[in-house]
Amino acid sequence: MRLRPHGSRAFTLVELLAVVAIIAVVTGFSVPAMQTLNGGGNLSQSANRFSDLLSLARSEAIARHTVVRFAVARDWEGKPDNNLRKYSLWAWDVEVQRFLQIYDWQDLPQGITLDPTDAPYLKSSKYWQQDKASLRGDLVLTEDFQTTAEFVDGPENEKVTMRYVEFLPSGTVRLPGGEKRNAIFVATLGQPNNDGTDLRYTQASGTPNNWAQINVDLLTGRARIYQP
């Protein structure tokens, strides 16, 4: 007696379309989730690097026994993408009587920027609700301060306007015009407008759900990071 093998059943067109639709739906949910996770990880790493350079500025001021500026590019002529994303160190040189760059420009990753606004969303954080002192500081990059300096960079003589805080040989920090205990920087997911006066947040709601607040204690020169 001959045995007939079981025939293999092919998928119908309807079944194939159903599988494709399911894959599309799952991908639609997973990709934004992965982007959020990656953005959050980059934000934390960026905040740590930013804080590390602040600590280095303090160490250099003490070691060199001079004033060291931690400066952020606020208006880079001809290169708006550098605005609020590049930061560096400058030290006062007694011989030439001006500040000289002592550390190369560092970059925040694409999609992460420093917030030049008063960042009202900070008060939605759990850390603020638990410790109101976390926001007792002056936001360095807002229009309230005129702590600006200019220099000419590269062969094209591009003019760069910077905002800064100054580390003194004592290890303390000076923010001209500041009145509170801390100098505050805020890194978030977004992109500044070309003129650097406003920020387009990545989130569709117009308010970021993740950021890194870096406080610099003016009395000790120590940096601390807060995240929601």
Q: What is the pLDDT of residues 141-157, one digit of tens each?
A: 988 776 667 776 555 67
* Residue where the block lists tokens 């109101």: 132
Strand 182-192 vs strand 199-201: parallel, antiparallel, or unpaired? antiparallel
| Averaged pLDDT for residues 183-199 | 77
Sequence-ordered list of residues with C-beta below 8 angstroms from that of 86, at least 6 positions apart, any chain: 72, 73, 76, 105, 106, 107, 108
Q: SS3 for 63?
A: helix
Lowest mean pLDDT among 85-89, 179-183, 203-207: 203-207
| Averaged pLDDT for residues 28-39 | 41
Backbone angles phi, psi at 48, to 5 degrees: -65, -45
Residues linked to residue 188 through DSSP beta bridges, in sequence order:
113, 211
Q: What is the pLDDT of residue 27?
A: 44
Lowest mean pLDDT among 60-69, 114-123, 187-196: 187-196
- Token digits of residue 60: 């250099």
Please report, for the chain, the start and end positions of each structural domain, with discontinuous segments joined by +. Answer: 13-226
44: amino acid identity, one letter: S
104: amino acid identity, one letter: D
Sequence-ordered list of residues with C-beta below 8 angstroms from that of 69, at least 6 positions apart, any chain: 57, 89, 90, 91, 99, 149, 162, 164, 165, 166, 167
pTM: 0.78
Domain 13-226 has CATH 3.55.40.10: yes
Query: Is the pLDDT reported for residue 197 higher than 80?
Result: no
Cα 191 off chain centre by: 10
| Averaged pLDDT for residues 162-187 | 94
Q: What is the pLDDT of residue 33?
A: 40
pLDDT confidence bin for 34, thresholds 50/70/90: very low
pLDDT confidence bin for 35, thresholds 50/70/90: very low
Give the Cα separation of 175 and 66 in Å (integer): 16
| Helices (runs of H) and strands (runs of E) counted in the chain | 2, 12
